[in-house]
Amino acid sequence: MSSLTNIVKKEFREMLTKSTIIPVILMAVMFGYLGSMMGDVEQEVSAAPVVGLVDLDDGVISDIAFKVLNASSDMAYNGTDVDAGLEEVKEAGGVALIVLPANFSSDILNGSRGYIEVYWMMAGAGMLDAISSSSVNTLLGSMSYSISAYLVNESGEADPAVVLFPVERSDTTIFQGKVMEDVSPEFLITMLSAQSFTVPFIIMMIIIMAGGMVISSMGLEKENKTLETLLTLPVSRGSIVSGKLVASALVGLVMAGIYMVGFNYYMTSIETSAEIDLAKYGLDLGPVDFVLVGVSVFVSLLAALSMCMVLGTYAKNYKSAQTLTMPITLLAIIPMFITMFKDFGTLPLALQAVLFVIPFSHPMMAMRELMFGNYALVLAGIAYVAAFAVVMIAITVWIFKTDRLLTGSMKGKGLAGLLLKRR
C-alpha cells in the first residue's frame, strides 16, 4: 500500500463514521418528504379548484362568468343564497364562493365596472396554503378576460378602461372562524409573514446555538479532563446538570435577542406590509397570549438543552461534540421549514404527528395558532414539551449518576478493551 493510499484510508475512516452518515441520510429522507409535499402542491395547482357561485344577476355577462367558472372549476354550489353557498363550499373543502350581484351585467353593459364579492375559505396561513387561492385568482382572471372579449365583440364603443378591466372585486376571507372583510388570502399570508418566517427562524437559531453550546461544553469537559474533578466535588448531579442548562439557556436567549433584532430589521426592511395593523383584523396577541408564547419558548429551550445534555454524554471530545449537534440541528430545521410553508391544520395526519412529536415545533407554531384562538394546540404543546423536558432532565441526571459519563456504553468487547486501557 502506498503512503498516499495509507493516508487516504486513515482519513476516510476518520471522516466516514456512523455519526457523519446518519444525519446525511436523515437529511436526504427529509428532503425526499419535502419533495413529495411539493408534489402534492403541484397536484393541487393542476387540479380544478372547488368553488361556489351565487348568481343574483342572471344576465348575459353573468352567464359568461358562469361558463368560464363551470369549465375550469369543480363547482360545489350554484344558486342564489350566499349562506347556503358558503355552507356547501365549506363542506366540499372548497376555496371560494363568488357572488355576482343583481346589477352585475347591467353595470358592465352600461359602461361601468361590475363588482363581485369573493368569500375565501382559507385552510391555512402557510406559504403553500395560498396555492389554492392562486388557482381561483387565475380563474377569475380568465373570467375577466372572457368578459373583455365579449365587450370588444359586442360593443365597440365601450370605455377601454372598462373593457380591459371589466370586473372589480371585494375579498372577504374566512379563516379559522374569523371573518375578515377586505382581506384576501395573499394579503393575510403577507400580514402573517413575520410569524411565518421570523419566529421559526429565531427559534431554530436559539435551539441550534444553545444546544450546540451544551454539547460542546460536555465535549470540552471530557477533552480537557475536567469532568472527573467536577463529579467529585461536593455538588449534586442535579446542580451540575441544572447549572449547565441554565447557563446555556441564558446565553442562548441573549444570542437569540441579538439575532431577533437583526432579523427583524431585515424583515421590516423588505416587507411592504410593515405598516399593516394586525389588531384591525383581530389578529393581535393579548398579554396571556404573550405569556403562553414565552412559556412555549422556555419549555422548548429546556427540552432542547436537556436533550443536548443526553447527547453530550456521548461526546468524547470537542470534535465529536460538533457531530452530535447534527440531530438537534435537523430537529430544529424540519419544523422550521414545515411551519413556514404549511399550517398545522392543513398538514396530512402523519406529518401533523411528526410535527407535534418534535418538541421544537411548538414555539414555532404558537404565535400564529394563538392569533386564531387555537389554545388547545398551544396548551397541549406546552404540556407535551414540558413532560418531554422533565423526562430528558431525569435521564440526564440518571446518566450523571451512572458510570456512563466516564466509561461510555457498558456493552461490547471493544469497550472492555478501552476500559482495560484506561485503567
Partner 1 sequence: MSAIEVRDLVKDYGSFRAVKGISFDVREGEVFGLIGPNGAGKTTTLRIIATLLRISSGSVQVFGKDLRREPHEVRKILSYLPEDAGAYKNLTGREYLQFIADFFASGRAADEIVRKGIEIASLSDRIDDKVDTYSKGMTRRLLVSRALMTEPKLTILDELTSGLDVINAQEIRKTVNAISEKGTTVLLSSHNMLEVELMCDRIALINDGRIVELGTPAELKGKHSASNIEEVFTKVVMA
Using rule CB under 8 A, residue 36 touches partner 1: no
> E strands along 31-166, which residues?
50-55, 74-79, 96-100, 114-122
Size of the site for partner 1 (CB under 8 A): 25
> Pick from 109, 106, 57, 61: which is nearest to 78 by CA?
57
Q: By CB under 8 A, what part of segment 259-318 binds partner 1?
A: none
Cell numbers representing residue 186 in the block: 395573499
Cross-sheet strand order for the sheet of 167-175: 74-79, 50-55, 96-100, 114-122, 167-175, 178-181
d(Cα 256, Cα 71) in Å, to the nearest integer?
52
d(Cα 17, Cα 326) in Å, to the nearest integer?
13
8 A C-beta contact, residue 132 and residue 44:
yes
Using rule CB under 8 A, residue 243 touches partner 1: no
Q: Minimal distance in Å, beta carbon 248 to partner 1?
A: 16
8 A C-beta contact, residue 392 and residue 309:
yes
Q: Which is nearer to partner 1, 234 or 287 (CB)?
A: 234
Using rule CB under 8 A, residue 402 touches partner 1: yes
Binding mask 222-241 for partner 1 (x = CB under 8 A): --xxx-xx-xxxxxx-----
- Give the helix/strand (H/E) hosting 368: helix 361-371
Q: Sign of the C-alpha dihedral, residues 301, 205, 358, 295?
A: positive
The region of 109-117, 164-172, 281-289, 413-421 touching partner 1 under the rule CB under 8 A is: 413-421
> Pick from 141, 132, 139: which is nearest to 173 by CA?
132
Q: How far is CA 82 from CA 54, 107, 113, 115, 117, in A?
A: 6, 21, 22, 16, 10
Q: Which is nearer to partner 1, 214 or 358 (CB)?
A: 214
Among positions 4, 25, 376, 420, the unique one binding partner 1 when judged by CB under 8 A:
420
Q: 101 — phi, psi (to 5°)?
A: -70, 170
The region of 103-111, 218-226, 260-268, 370-378 touching partner 1 under the rule CB under 8 A is: 218-226
Using rule CB under 8 A, residue 182 touches partner 1: no
Q: Which is nearer to partner 1, 110 or 407 (CB)?
A: 407
Q: Which is nearer to partner 1, 229 or 268 (CB)?
A: 229
Q: Which is nearer to partner 1, 138 or 407 (CB)?
A: 407
The region of 21-29, 170-178, 254-262, 405-413 touching partner 1 under the rule CB under 8 A is: 405-413
Q: Dump the DSSP string for 287-324.
A: HHHHHHHHHHHHHHHHHHHHHHHHHHTT--SHHHHHHH
Using rule CB under 8 A, residue 110 touches partner 1: no
Q: Minimal distance in Å, beta carbon 2 to partner 1?
A: 35
Q: Which residue has the cell 365579449?
A: 150
The region of 349-357, 364-372, 388-396, 415-423 touching partner 1 under the rule CB under 8 A is: 415-423
Using rule CB under 8 A, residue 18 touches partner 1: no
Using rule CB under 8 A, residue 407 touches partner 1: yes
Q: Which is nearer to partner 1, 60 or 231 (CB)?
A: 231
Q: Which residues bind partner 1 (CB under 8 A)?
A: 224-226, 228-229, 231-236, 402-403, 406-407, 410-412, 415-416, 419-423
